[in-house]
Amino acid sequence: MTSLGGDGPVRTSTAGGSQVPPSPYFVSPAEFQRVRMHAGGTAGICWITLDRPERLNAFDWRMLVELRAALWEATYDDGIRVVVITGAGRGFSAGRDINDLRWQRGLPGNSYRSFVRTNHSTFDDIETIEKPVIAAVNGPCAGGGVELAVSCDFRIAAQEATFSLPEINIGVIPASGACSRMSRLIGVERLKEMVMTGRQYTAAQAGAMGLVSEVVPGAELVATVEALAADLMTGAPRAIGLAKHVINMCEGVDPHTGRDIERLGQSWLAQSDDSWEGLSAFLDKRSPDFRG
């Protein structure tokens, strides 16, 4: 397996710090046809690029399988600290490939639900991987592409990006995370507007409603994303990962349970080597050397 976390490609193994992910479930990166994994300009950043530009990066079954495989590669590679997802060519993603949608409509209800669960599992992996994930939205982002983006921790958009949930126009709803994730980002009323009208929104409008955190000129997108990634890599890796996990869990529980979750997470981190290193570095007035 190739690691993208260091100065160049290296082999990883269970003996070398990074672990080999369970391979029977996923296609090898060497076999990827719809997705590319490549190192960023700074060590520790892994870019995952959706690579079907001729279809505006619409995802079919193969792309979903490869995307999930790429996420697992990133999970098990300790050299990767931040994951960035973007699209090849002029767009981020048009969502589900219409040809796949036609095929899905012929499935019995139980088979259809099982198939769609694979979408959910892929986006759930993005949300739950204990590393920050940034969506670099470089152009049109529609349907499932929006749902992919909102499963990421951060969204930065190029000025030319657009956002829409047009499923209502073909008689269905966005059902891979829009209805369940987006209300906490943009509010229920705005979400209903997006879903029930199918309108297209500019990047500026998406920023105003809270769907993206920053809008920048297209030429500055990569640099802006990598600057955020660099900031995210200054903290202790395990603390960053657990912070993400605890915050996600606390969103779905009452405040009392949330504080229980915070205490459990903190009790583990407080005993870690990185916690002692951070405290020592603070007292010594030096930069910490976190090892993860």
- Which residues lie across from 35 on neighbouring strands? 50
Take residue 217 and report the two structure tokens written for it. Answer: 């000129």
| 76-113 CB burial, b ≥16 within 10 A, e <16 | bbbbbbbbbbbbbbebbbbbbbeebbeeeeeeeeeeee
Cα–Cα distance for residue pair 93/139, rounded to 1 Å: 8
Instruction: Tell me whether residue 66 is one of the annotated catalytic residues.
Output: no
Determine contact, residues 120/144, Cβ cutoff 8 Å: no
Take residue 254 and report the two structure tokens written for it. Answer: 């009452």
SS3 6: coil
Q: Read off φ and ψ for residue 96, nearest 5 degrees.
A: -70, 135
Cα–Cα distance for residue pair 273/278, rounded to 1 Å: 9
Q: Could you give the strand order of the β-sheet that contains 200-202, starting from the edge strand earlier in sequence?
A: 141-142, 162-164, 200-202
Query: Computed over its alpha carbons, how large is the radius of gyration of the chain?
Result: 20
Q: Which is the catalytic residue, given 73, 127, 130, 147? A: 147
Instruction: Tell me whether residue 167 is one of the annotated catalytic residues.
Output: yes
Helix (H) or strand (E) holding 82: strand 82-87
Determine contact, residues 79/46, Cβ cutoff 8 Å: no
Q: Which is the catalytic residue, given 73, 127, 160, 167? A: 167
The residues that are catalytic are 147, 167
